[in-house]
Structure 1
Amino acid sequence: METQAMADARRWLAERGVVEAGDGWVDVEGPDRPLTANEVAHSWAGEVFTDEGLDVSEQVQLAFGLLDLLDDYWVTCEIRFADRGSQGPLPADVLWDGYRRRLEADRDADAVTYSLWADWFEDRETAATAFAEVLGNDVGHVVAEESDAPLRRAGRVLACAGPVPWPVKQKAYDIAVRLPALHGSLFKGLLAGYHDVYGDLEPMAALALLERLRLPAGTPFLAELRSVLAAGHRNHYRSPQAWDNVAQPSKE
């Protein structure tokens, strides 16, 4: 179902000669072949923030409409460039409402979660604000109310929060663990916190949290994660042999 944001983005592109055709897109001034969504995103997502006919809030809303329409990670890159660039920051309420809405939507959110993980959460200058805005500020209400859309957002954020500094996310983790529906996502976040190059966790605190999770029997990597945390290891890349030793025990 096409939303109003998608319709606005489609109309904005059409005004510039870019229309959807078949399985691709056609640009009246572009190559004589269909364009992919990624090509359209690279050509036009940044242009949204130069449209003088729109105020900044409208530009952000239009950019998110393009994200919905194209479902391409590059659109999120242009949003971040605009926020962190010389003309930024973007209006925080509009920016983070855009992220929250898409995290709550009952549709694929891979571009949004990848954007959070690889761009906002791995950057120590933005991780705390980004995590607070997409979950930390209201995690207590989300857990207490147990509404489908906010829980969908919480699960997606927890699963990709591995790079968020432990002191920033620990309180949210401690609240989220009260709700078994979020335990699978918490486990994914802990596992990423250990394995991601920029992952961050405190071994003993993470182990205590891990022991509270109700996970299916035979959950892959559960035993390995428990072992390395119990041994005090913080990150796979600091001591890769630790994981290898428990994942592939000696046959001697």
Structure 2
Amino acid sequence: METARSERTRHWLAAHDLSTDDDPEDAARELMPLIRADEELAPADKLELGLGLLELLNTYWVLVELRWFVNAAGDEALWDTHWQAIREHLERPAPSEAVLRSLWSDWFEDITTVERAFTEVLARDTEALSGAEEPLLRRAAAVLRISGPVPWPLKYPVYTAAADVERLRPAVFSGVLYSYHDVYGSLEIDPALELLDRLGLPDDTEHLADLRAALEEGYTNHHRPATTPPG
């Protein structure tokens, strides 16, 4: 889908005799450094061109470079533009796999950025989940499923609010499941067990029985030894 951003990026590429004809990942590794190095562009313009390149290539490396750029810039206006664009990607009927990978493996696994990132893409909208319209429900479901690395105290209030929305219950379960399975997953046993009860999922839900058993045995993470069992 052509957007104003992608059209602007096409014009910049044409003006510099560049194209996106290569493999998308190779093209991103070639073009993003050129955009960032263009001294004729203001920082806001560099971000817009980078976001346009994401529209054109839909590949992870664009997001790697954008993350470096906005973190280094330290400009709240750039942060706001960046996160608004990410939210829009997450609200599409089929969220970008590149965006999901970037959130999960870069922003959420980094203790220095996870709070800001999770707040921007979902936590600030916690109170709006009840009665939310389709775009927010899609974004919430996408973020919940990849929220395993997010610290439990940060995501638990979002999980509890989302558990009251029937549409989001499978995504909450995925969040809890991967809080257990992710190498960097964060989970607390008692509230996790209470959440599983609140979700009211069918007993034959895939992985539900195994997850419940592991939690009841005192495991907070598939990759770590058991703690003292609850109770």
- By how many angstroms is 1:174 displaced? 1.1
Task: Show the counterpart of 2:102.
Answer: 115
**Conserved 8 A contact 1:204-1:232:** no
Bigger RCO of structures 1 and 2 (CA < 8 A, at least 6 apart): 2
Find out whether 1:189 has 2:175 as its counterpart.
Answer: yes
Find the aligned partners of 1:194 and 1:63 in 2 and give their Cα distance: 35
- By how many angstroms is 1:233 displaced? 1.1
Find the aligned partners of 1:120 and 1:169 in 2 and give their Cα distance: 14
**Conserved 8 A contact 1:139-1:154:** no
Query: Which of 163, 166, 182 is equivalent to 1:177?
Result: 163
**Conserved 8 A contact 1:82-1:89:** no
Task: Show the counterpart of 1:215.
Answer: 201
Matched letter for residue 156 of structure 2: Q
**Conserved 8 A contact 1:73-1:115:** yes
- CA offsets 1:182-209 (integer angstroms, 9 cap, x no match): 1111111111100111000101111111
Find the aligned partners of 2:2 and 2:122 in 1 and give their Cα distance: 26
Assess, with a 3 A threshold, how the Cα gap between structure 1 residues 216 and 89 changes in structure 2: closer, same or farther: farther
- By how many angstroms is 1:71 displaced? 0.7
Q: How does 1:66-215 map to 2 (within 5 A)?
A: 66-85=53-72, 87-89=73-75, 91-141=78-128, 143-215=129-201
Task: Show the counterpart of 1:12.
Answer: 12
Find out whether 1:52 has 2:58 as its counterpart.
Answer: no
- CA offsets 1:126-176 (integer angstroms, 9 cap, x no match): 1111100110011211x1332111111111110000000001111111111
Higher helix share: 2
- CA offsets 1:25-53 (integer angstroms, 9 cap, x no match): 0xxxxxxxxx2111110101232222333
- By how many angstroms is 1:216 displaced? 4.8
**Conserved 8 A contact 2:188-2:220:** yes
- CA offsets 1:77-102 (integer angstroms, 9 cap, x no match): 001111233x4456221121111111
**Conserved 8 A contact 2:70-2:79:** no
Find the aligned partners of 1:52 and 1:121 in 2 and give their Cα distance: 31
Find the aligned partners of 2:17 and 2:79 in 1 and give their Cα distance: 31
Aligned length: 225
Identity over the aligned pairs, expressed in percent? 40
Q: Secondary structure in 1 aligned to 2:19?
A: strand
Find the aligned partners of 1:12 and 1:194 in 2 and give their Cα distance: 45
Q: Which runs of 5+ in 2 are unaligned?
A: 227-231
Find the aligned partners of 1:89 and 1:228 in 2 and give their Cα distance: 44
Q: What is the alpha-carbon root mean square deviation over aligned residues?
A: 1.7
Q: Secondary structure in 1 aligned to 2:82?
A: helix
Find the aligned partners of 1:177 and 1:108 in 2 and give their Cα distance: 21
Task: Show the counterpart of 1:237.
Answer: 223
Matched letter for residue 136 of structure 2: P
